[in-house]
Each structure stands twice: as C-alpha cells, then as structure tokens.
Amino acid sequence: MAFQPIFDAGAHRVWGYEALVRGLSGEGAYEVLGKVLPEQRYRFDQDCRVKAIELASRLFPADEELVLSINFMPNAVYEPAACLRATLHAAKRCGFPTSSILFEFTENEEVTDTAHLTSIITEYRKQGFTTAIDDFGAGHAGLGLLVDFQPDLLKIDMKLIRGIDASPARQAVVAGIGGIAKELGITVLAEGVETEEEFRVLKAGGVRLFQGYWFAKPEFEALPGIRALGIPAA
C-alpha cells in the first residue's frame, strides 16, 4: 500500500491518509486491479483492507488523531456484516480505532444493486465507520446516488477540479455540489489538486479538505508530508 495525505485547510494540518493499492514494482491501482479475476475480488478486497490497517497502525503517530481512508469494491461485498469481520478483527488486533477508518467507494465502479449498497453503508455506520463517495461527478450514478443515501464525505473528481481557477463552468458545478452537500450535511473533499491556483479558488469557495499531487504524491509504505505547505511527514 502507498499513502497519500488529506489536508485540512481549516486546521492547516494533515487530516488523514488514503491507502492506495500498489504493485511490488510500483504499478498503479488500475493495473493491479486489472489482474484480479472476478472470483478473487472478494478476497483481494479483504486483504487490502487488512494490509492498510496493519500498516497504518505501525505508521500513524500515536499522539495524533488521523483518519485512514480505505477503498472498497461494493460489488465484491456479498453480506456486509460478514465482510466486516476481517476488518474488525484486524483493527482490534492492531489496536486501531474503527472510528478512525473511512471507507470510500468509487462512482467508477457501476453499482448494480443500490439497495445492497445502502445496506452496506448502513452496516458500516452501525460498526462505527464513516463512508465516502470517491470520484464524484465522473462515474455511473451521479447526483441520483445521493437521493438513495448520503455518505459522510463526498470526494469531487479531479476532472471537475482540473483548471477550475480558469473555468467559470467548473466553478459553478463545484459550487452547486458544495451547496447540495451542505444541505445534506456532507463534507466535501477536492481530490486531484495539482496547482496552488486550483487550491486557492476551491478554498475560497468553501472547500475544507484537499488531496492531490500539489500537496504530496503517494509514498510506498510511508507517510509523506505536505511539501507545498511546509508540513513535515508524520
């Protein structure tokens, strides 16, 4: 796993880290996932969760409250409570608080059963986890997904972020998403931020949480600091 920081602009500190699956030679997530056979998806999903928790429990400073963000594949979860057993066991074994774990699923994975997804989110919240929609605005469900359930966090896709400082259309769309999220009590995170100009416009527009290469690139089994803002590694 590699880790990329999530920056809290309001508190000017690292809010948490997203755990990102990587190949042993540095292959990205899509390349790795492309090698996972359909019958292996459930086991792969479980193993990634456990590995992320094991590494975070070792790397995260004991005196800081940091969030660990883990991606999961909704279509690989057959029964929510049963699928969480390995996660809960790993958290207990490593002494990692479940309240510090955020599960995010990407809109880019088509959800074939919305009712099933809702049951997953309900069970995760029951167990003390928080939830997020990743890549919002670039996937299958779009705004319709928010009608069925509301996550704790909404991660705006980088396609809407790229060049937002020079795009009134992007600014309007992101402002609209922010307004909807505020009405629903959802926190917004801008991902894929690559320039200071993008960051400044988004921050002025009310976005608090940020992630992207301008802050730091993911580092393999390590916690990177935020170089652009002078925040050292944890």
Residue 196 lies in a domain: yes
- Asked whether residue 58 is assigned to any structural domain, the reply reads yes
Cα(186)–Cα(18) distance, integer angstroms: 18
Share of the chain above pLDDT 90, in %: 56
Residue owning tokens 């599960």: 103
Q: Phi and psi (nearest 5°) for 222?
A: -155, 160
Asked if residue 234 belongs to a domain, the reply is no
Terminal C-alpha separation, the chain? 17
Average pLDDT over residues 93-120: 78
Host domain of residue 78:
2-229
pLDDT of residue 220: 93
Read off the CATH number of the domain in which 99 is found. Answer: 3.20.20.450
**Model confidence at 212, in pLDDT bands (50, 70, 90)?**
very high
Instruction: Output the six-digit token pair for 11.
Output: 């508190």
Global pTM reads 0.90
Highest mean pLDDT among 14-18, 28-32, 86-90, 107-111: 14-18
pLDDT at res. 140: 55
Which DSSP state fits 34? T
- pLDDT tier at 89, thresholds 50, 70, 90: very high
The yes-or-no verdict on residue 142 having pLDDT over 80 is: no
Q: How many domains does the chain have?
A: 1
